[in-house]
Amino acid sequence: MKPKINKQDIEFLIDCLKNGKEIPEVYKYALFPTKQKEYELVYAGKMRKEDVLADTEEAKPVPLQIEKVFNGKKYPLCSKDWHNLLVFGDNLQILKTFNENKDPLVKNKIKGKVKLIYIDPPFGTGDEYDGAKGQSAYSAKRKGADFVEFLRRRLILLKEILADDGSIFVRMDYHFGHYVKLVLDEVFGKGNFRNEMIVNRTRTLKGEYKQFATATDSLFLYAKDKEIMTFNGFRKLKPESDWKWVEMHLPGSRKDKSLLYRKIFGKTIKAPTGRRWALSQEALENAIGRGLVRLNKKTGLPQFLTKYETLGSNWTDISGYSKYFDYPTENSEDLLERVIRCCSNESDLVMDVFAGSGTTLAVAEKLGRRWIGCDIGKLAIYTTQKRLLQIDQGKNLEDQKKKYGKPVKSFAVVTSGLYDLGKIFALQKDEYIRFVKDLFEIEETKTAKIGGVEIDGKKREFYVKIFPYWELKNASVDEKYLQELHKNIGGKIDDRFYIIAPANNVNFISDYHQIGNVRYYFLKVPYQIIKELHKVQFKKFRQPQSKNQINDLDEAIGFHFIRQPEVKSEIKKLKDKVVLKIKKFESAYSQDKTGEKLKNFESLAMLLVDLNYDGEKFMMTNYFFAQDLLNHKPSDKEESEEEIKKELKKQKEIIKEFPKKDCGEEIMAIYVDIYGNEFKEVFKVK
């Protein structure tokens, strides 16, 4: 039913517009009603598609920062001017950046060019599944409509960056599959639904009661445009006992003699009356060379050995999950091989924005596709990085008894929304200007100068100046600088002016300084949020402190800068073991979400270790969540975030022992706090 606006509403709205007041959100759908479809899923908090695509305080494009590129002779480019991408960050922000299509790293390379998307998002059920080592491996925290909307917003953006002939696979379990199917119908169009495959779940719920064990998940396939979608189908090898010899002729009398005669084993044979040969001469010779053709002893006619069958929507003949990398809900390579072969070709671009252990990326690499993977978890990024760098040791998809044997092609590890300050200031002038403009959403303006002062753009209709610290190395934004600036432009601008500058170059503690009727706001790098300028408080996404939190869904708001945690540690080399003792770990962000001060070890998320560090690449050999590092490990019933923090608070020190035989000359340790900040150190042990 369309919302109605009465006379009092109209008068109120006119008053808001006249006096520059904000219009309450309750009027949104009355003023801008959505067009009703045949049916749609309605729930609290559902955002209009137009609002999802627009930039908002909650989600906006953020710049991409290259962390490390694996290239050169060892990792050759898969195609000209393209690095495969492994991106750390909130996938909603990342997708907004891809869709905006401005960042030089991805401009005109991704939007509208992704041939295949595969996602297996954490289902948001709160169910626990058996993981390796008897631990709970999955417990997502988003429930009901919150989860559906979380996924819907990402699906809307994924459609925007999908190629016109592209397709998307979405894996779901029984809790939300029916809701997500409706959302997919809404986003991609009911007519573009192609299939619902069933795949093995392999992990059954504990404590089934008065119900059958759940054995399968759903895998939905949608095209962006069913008429032109890339679809190769898939033929699977049948068990040898099911191989059959079949006749090689088909119904249909033809005058064309090329369809009636074939040379087989040196003898020209004519097709039976009213029939024609199924294979061309070239295809027939190929089949003979592979031992797939014989002559029927009774009829003398050729027969073909059928080893394969066309795949349908029942995919339970292969495993749906794998435990090879000990990562919760790790999809199997067999499943992803089938997906990628079905709907893409060599050199096509494949994407997974819930990359997890990196199965999609690894299989895409082996099949000669280009790829992009995103994840919000540090463990996922390091697991995937190691998997790719060691891909030559992985299985060959054609013959699983053999190794793949080829090095990974060049790829870049990229961050989005959490930035290394040192790398920003190491940028060249033009790159720095572009980066901070993207960071603070500065729009271009035709005005180049005001009163002789160079203008770098506009933010919310107010002018912006980027402080040229590279030229004014001994200067700063102080009272003298502002007075000189005001003398030149104060009478020619509105009541607000923005200055972007390194925090160390700003001599004011306050967020702004007022001269006359003009407020000069400081957008500092690194940035501390100015509450007056933001309706929504910036929010950091969190890293898990236990294995059962790995698949918790989280989102970021705004952007943040890396601030190294403070770590005090030492290494002891004993006869048969190496002992790492951690005496102190404190995050630079010293308060939790409630404002309470975090004490020693409370902010520790995980410890990642490379026991044989080669001085160049971090190849994770061990990982330990904060929960794994406790002296007193909580019982299974006490695995909540609060219980883990409570136990961490009691810790005086953390000790981890490693067999000396497993260690190389150097060990690298990475300590990660709950906000994704890292401290890295290298120990010599031999």
pLDDT at 102: 92
Flag whether pLDDT at 341 surpasses 70: yes
Q: How far from chain centre, in Å, is Cα 419?
A: 17
In sequence order, the 6+-apart residues with CB closer than 8 A to the CB of 534 are 57, 558
List of E strands, 349-478: 349-352, 370-375, 411-416, 418-419, 449-450, 453-454, 457-459, 462-466
Burial class of residue 55 (count of CB atoms within 10 Å of its CB; 0-12, 13-18, 19+): exposed
Helix axes 144-161, 177-188, angle to 10 degrees: 30
pLDDT at 443: 92
| CA–CA dist 441, 318 (Å, integer) | 48
Mean pLDDT in residue range 414-438: 88
Q: Per the structure block, which two tokens stand in for 294? A: 């014989």
Its pTM stands at: 0.78
Burial class of residue 669 (count of CB atoms within 10 Å of its CB; 0-12, 13-18, 19+): buried
In sequence order, the 6+-apart residues with CB closer than 8 A to the CB of 649 are 599, 600, 601, 602
HEC assignment per residue over 279-347: CCHHHHHHHHHCCCEEECCCCCCEEEEECEEECCCECCCCCCEECCCCCCCEECHHHHHHHHHHHCCCC
Q: What is the mean pLDDT of the chain?
A: 85
pLDDT at 140: 38
| Lookup result for tokens 């050199």 | 347
Flag whether pLDDT at 655 surpasses 70: yes
pLDDT at 531: 60
Task: Name the band, by pLDDT with cuts 50, 70 and 90, for residue 127.
Answer: very low
pLDDT at 141: 39
Task: Report all structural domains of the chain as residue ranges with CATH numbers, in order of start.
Answer: 1-33 (no CATH), 64-231+322-418 (3.40.50.150), 244-306 (no CATH), 441-526 (no CATH), 563-684 (2.60.40)
Cα three-residue angle 220-111-34, rounded to 5 degrees: 65
319: β partners: none
| CA–CA dist 592, 92 (Å, integer) | 23
pLDDT at 537: 60
pLDDT at 328: 77
Flag whether pLDDT at 288 surpasses 70: yes
Determine contact, residues 323/132, Cβ cutoff 8 Å.
Answer: yes
pLDDT at 355: 94
Closest C-alpha to 671, from 660, 661, 682, 658: 682
Mean pLDDT in residue range 502-518: 88
Give the model confidence (pLDDT) of 363-409 as tens digits: 999 999 999 999 988 999 999 999 999 999 999 998 888 999 999 99
Buried b vs exposed e over 352-361: b needs ≥16 C-beta within 10 Å? bbbbbbbbbb
Closest C-alpha to 231, from 342, 115, 314, 349: 342
Give the model confidence (pLDDT) of 162-209 as tens digits: 999 999 999 999 888 999 999 999 999 999 999 999 999 865 555 566
Burial class of residue 666 (count of CB atoms within 10 Å of its CB; 0-12, 13-18, 19+): middle
In sequence order, the 6+-apart residues with CB closer than 8 A to the CB of 159 are 168, 187, 188, 224
- Stretch among 135-139, 251-255, 283-287 having the lowest mean pLDDT: 135-139
- Stretch among 122-136, 472-486, 533-547, 558-572 having the lowest mean pLDDT: 122-136
